[in-house]
């Protein structure tokens, strides 16, 4: 996008002034004098005013422009703020030099090389922005690493000199100066990433951008292509960044990919889960298009599944709910049947609950106080749990919420997504998660609640029928324990105290009912009030 002429002039003046300050700072370091130090300080207010003017103009334009242009103005704000920060660092360096007794001794530390990199970075900012030059923007980011390396070398040399206990004050001042120069590099990183963010409209770091660029290149997609759209998906609690990436091919057919980036363990678990499902049930989960893990983060590109998730159907209504539940229950029964393994599985619902205790307490700090009796309930539940191993295992989703089930009705196809917790376990766990994730939906209109109740009843009936065929005599008791776990852990998503209290009351009812059947848990019967909202 061409830069507005007024902004164009202000930005170029700001870049020019900051480069002047960089040169003035280098001159002070080489040969300090009171006159030079005073002169560099005088320009501070002029630079501050330029930055403030740019910010004001950008904020004014942000409220008037389209989304793609808004990204441009946001980037200019980031550039202006970080340039002003660099100017402050240059002033601080000059002020530090006023305390130096022997500035000539600094020559061996090679501070000139810092400034040579700084000049290159400053010179690259305007062309990278105005020409939307992503390669040049990445180069600006890379200058941060160069300055980091210089700083590490300088700091190591200073530490060696300090051991000689000579000229300590000057050396400590030099260390402070080197730190300011290193922080200039941090500002360049922010500037380069801001220019990259214009392209996608999302704040990706340089490493994440390069991983995405590499992944797209593996699919013969150039990230520079103007028809690529990057649309973040906000509704995720996983801590991962997720987005829909779409592009239009020469034949006018749109292609879409699902982008996921985040913690290595979570992405690797997702890859493992997808491989597990593809092995047993090919086509029931998205295909991995590209995947790469590095030390601190991992990136994945998946086949993007168009369609309606079950939660959307439940909330918005429509005639598709009955069809969706018919497809889902048939598919689930098939999954349980095909993946059945005759291996006893130890129940660990209470352990799962306790692993989320700190998250629950962060939302409801007083929930585990003695007056609520929750710790006692959990102890009772653990005693009961020891009596309830699952007689066999099946492949389970692990995060079986309604929004992780997607339907394509025209193709009579459904998919499971977000399978990072998938593995072999007790099928009852998925059932309990499904039931309570619907129960905790914070919408209370009679129409929505009727649909949520219907979905829950259908899923319960499906699981109960499967349990009967398998002669799973403890199904009802294990399901109750799973519901107990999910009711309590769900409070970490519910800020409404009244609704949270209701969830806890249901959990208490379950424990009381289970205790009443100790020694005869095979006769325990689920109370529909556990998972239906009246």
Looking at the structure, do residues 50 and 148 belong to the same domain, yes or no?
A: yes
Q: How far apart are CA 122 and CA 120, in angstroms?
A: 6
Highest averaged pLDDT of the listed ranges 61-75, 175-189, 219-233: 175-189
Within 201-309, residue ranges assigned H as helices are: 206-218, 264-280
Is a pLDDT exceeding 90 seen at residue 517? yes
Average pLDDT over residues 82-111: 90
The residue whose two tokens read 């630079």 is: 47
**Average pLDDT value for residue range 62-76:** 79
| Cα atoms in the 13 Å half-sphere on the side-chain side of 354 | 11
Would you state the structure tokens that stand for residue 117, as one six-digit string?
């990199």
Q: Specify the pTM.
A: 0.83
**pLDDT at site 1:** 45
Q: Which of 268, 303, 338 is the last residue of a domain?
A: 303
Residue 149 has pLDDT above 80, yes or no: yes
Task: Give yes or no for residue 529 having a pLDDT over 70.
Answer: yes
Using the 3D structure, point to which of 201, 230, 247 is the last residue of a domain: 201
On whether both 42 and 62 belong to a single domain, the answer is yes
Same structural domain, 269 and 196: no
| 144 and 187 housed in the same domain | yes
- CB distance 311 to 417 below 8 Å: no
Q: Looking at the structure, do residues 46 and 105 belong to the same domain, yes or no? A: yes
Compute the half-sphere exposure of residue 3: CA atoms within 13 Å on the CB side of its CA: 24
Q: Which ranges of 31-102 does DSSP label H, i.e. alpha helix?
A: 34-42, 44-62, 67-97
Considering 287, 303, 319, which residue would you say is the last residue of a domain? Answer: 303
Mean pLDDT of 438-442: 92
Same domain, 266 and 313: no
Q: Does position 366 have pLDDT exceeding 90, yes or no?
A: no
Least confident range of 195-199, 388-392, 512-516: 195-199
pLDDT in tens, 274-289: 999 999 999 999 999 9
Least confident of 101-115, 416-430, 474-488: 101-115
Evaluate if residue 470 carries a pLDDT over 90. Answer: yes
The pLDDT-based confidence of 60 (bands split at 50, 70, 90) is confident
- Residue 251, pLDDT score: 60
Task: Decide if pLDDT at 271 tops 50.
Answer: yes
- Where residue 167 falls (left for φ over 0; alpha for ψ -120 to 50; beta otherwise) is left
pLDDT for 397: 98
User: What pLDDT, in 10s, does the model give residues 193-224?
Assistant: 999 998 887 788 899 999 999 999 998 888 88
Q: What is the mean pLDDT of the chain?
A: 91
Name every residue whose Cβ is closer than 8 Å to that of residue 277 and which is 6 or more positions away in sequence: 284, 285, 395, 416, 419, 422
Structural domain boundaries enclosing 90: 5-201
**Given this model, what pLDDT does residue 47 score?**
93
> Would you say residue 235 has pLDDT above 60?
no
**Could you give the CA distance from residue 212 to residue 290 in angstroms, rounded to a whole number?**
10
Q: Which residues contact 519 (CB under 8 A, 6 or more apart)?
A: none
Token pair in block for residue 49:
């005013």
pLDDT value of residue 300: 96
**Mean pLDDT on 445-472:** 96
pLDDT reading at 435 higher than 70: yes
Same domain, 270 and 331: no
Q: How confident is the model at residue 66 (pLDDT cuts 50, 70, 90)?
A: low
> What CATH number is associated with residue 95?
1.20.58.220
Rounded to an integer, what distance in angstroms lies between the CA atom of residue 22 and that of residue 28? Answer: 10
Number of domains in the chain: 3
- Top pLDDT among 67 and 85 is at 85
Same domain, 269 and 356: no
Q: Are residues 249 and 371 in the same domain?
A: no
Whether residue 268 is found in the same domain as residue 326: no
Residue 318 clears pLDDT 80, i.e. is over it: no
SS3 of 130-163: the string is HCCCHHHHHHHHHHHHHHHHHHHHHHHHHHHHHC
Q: At 272, which CATH number?
A: 3.30.200.20
User: Do residue 49 and residue 149 come from a single domain?
Assistant: yes
> Quick one: pLDDT at residue 2?
46
Mean pLDDT on 218-235: 83
DSSP-derived 3-state class of residue 239:
coil
Percentage of the residues of the chain whose pLDDT score is greater than 90? 69
CA distance linking residue 179 with residue 96, whole number of Å? 12
405 pLDDT band, cuts 50/70/90, is: very high
- Give 332-356 pLDDT, tens digit per residue: 999 999 999 999 999 899 999 998 8
Assess whether 23 and 153 both reside in one domain: yes
């Amino acid at each position: 996008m061409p830069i507005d002429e007024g902004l164009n002039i202000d930005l170029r003046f700001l870049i020019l002034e900051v480069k002047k300050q960089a040169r003035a700072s280098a001159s002070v370091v080489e040969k300090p004098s009171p006159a030079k130090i005073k002169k560099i300080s005088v320009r501070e207010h002029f630079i501050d005013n330029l930055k403030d003017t740019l910010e004001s103009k950008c904020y004014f334009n942000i409220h008037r422009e389209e989304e793609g242009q808004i990204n441009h103005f946001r980037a200019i704000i980031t550039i202006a703020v970080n340039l002003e920060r660099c100017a402050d660092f240059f002033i601080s360096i000059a002020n530090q030099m006023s305390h130096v007794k022997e500035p000539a001794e600094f020559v061996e530390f090679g501070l000139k090389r810092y400034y040579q990199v700084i000049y290159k970075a400053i010179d690259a900012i305007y062309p990278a922005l105005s020409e939307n030059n992503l390669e040049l923007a990445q180069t600006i980011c890379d200058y941060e690493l160069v300055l980091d390396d210089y700083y590490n070398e300088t700091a190591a040399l200073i530490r060696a000199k300090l051991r000689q206990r000579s000229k300590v004050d000057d050396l400590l001042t030099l260390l402070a100066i080197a730190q300011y120069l290193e922080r200039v590099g941090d500002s360049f990183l922010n500037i380069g990433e801001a220019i990259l963010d214009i392209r996608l409209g999302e704040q990706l770091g340089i490493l994440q951008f390069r991983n995405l660029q590499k992944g797209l290149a593996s699919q013969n997609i150039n990230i520079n292509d103007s028809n690529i759209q990057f649309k973040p998906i906000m509704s995720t609690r996983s801590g991962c960044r997720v987005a829909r990436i779409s592009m239009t091919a020469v034949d006018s057919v749109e292609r879409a990919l699902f982008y996921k980036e985040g913690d290595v363990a979570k992405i690797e678990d997702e890859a493992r889960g997808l491989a597990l499902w593809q092995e047993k049930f090919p086509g029931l989960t998205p295909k991995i298009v590209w995947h790469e893990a590095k030390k601190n983060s991992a990136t994945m590109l998946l086949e993007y599944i168009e369609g309606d998730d079950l939660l959307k159907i439940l909330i918005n209504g429509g005639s598709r709910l009955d069809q969706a539940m018919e497809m889902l229950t048939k598919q689930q029964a098939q999954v349980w049947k095909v993946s059945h393994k005759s291996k006893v599985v130890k129940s660990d619902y209470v352990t799962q609950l306790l692993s989320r205790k700190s998250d629950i307490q962060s939302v409801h700090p007083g929930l585990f106080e003695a007056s609520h009796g929750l710790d006692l309930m959990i102890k009772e539940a653990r005693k009961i749990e020891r009596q309830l191993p699952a007689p066999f295992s099946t492949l389970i989703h692990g995060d079986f919420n309604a929004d992780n089930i997607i339907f394509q009705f025209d193709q009579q196809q459904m998919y499971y997504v977000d399978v990072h917790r998938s593995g072999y376990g007790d099928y009852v766990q998925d059932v309990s998660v499904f039931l309570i994730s619907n129960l905790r939906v914070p919408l209370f209109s009679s129409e929505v609640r009727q649909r949520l109740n219907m979905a829950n009843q259908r899923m319960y009936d499906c699981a109960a029928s499967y349990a009967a065929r398998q002669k799973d005599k403890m199904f009802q008791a294990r399901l109750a324990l799973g519901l107990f776990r999910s009711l309590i852990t769900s409070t970490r998503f519910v800020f409404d105290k009244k609704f949270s209290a209701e969830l806890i009351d249901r959990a208490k009812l379950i424990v009381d009912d289970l205790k009443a059947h100790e020694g005869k848990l095979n006769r325990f019967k689920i109370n529909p009030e556990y998972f239906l909202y009246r």
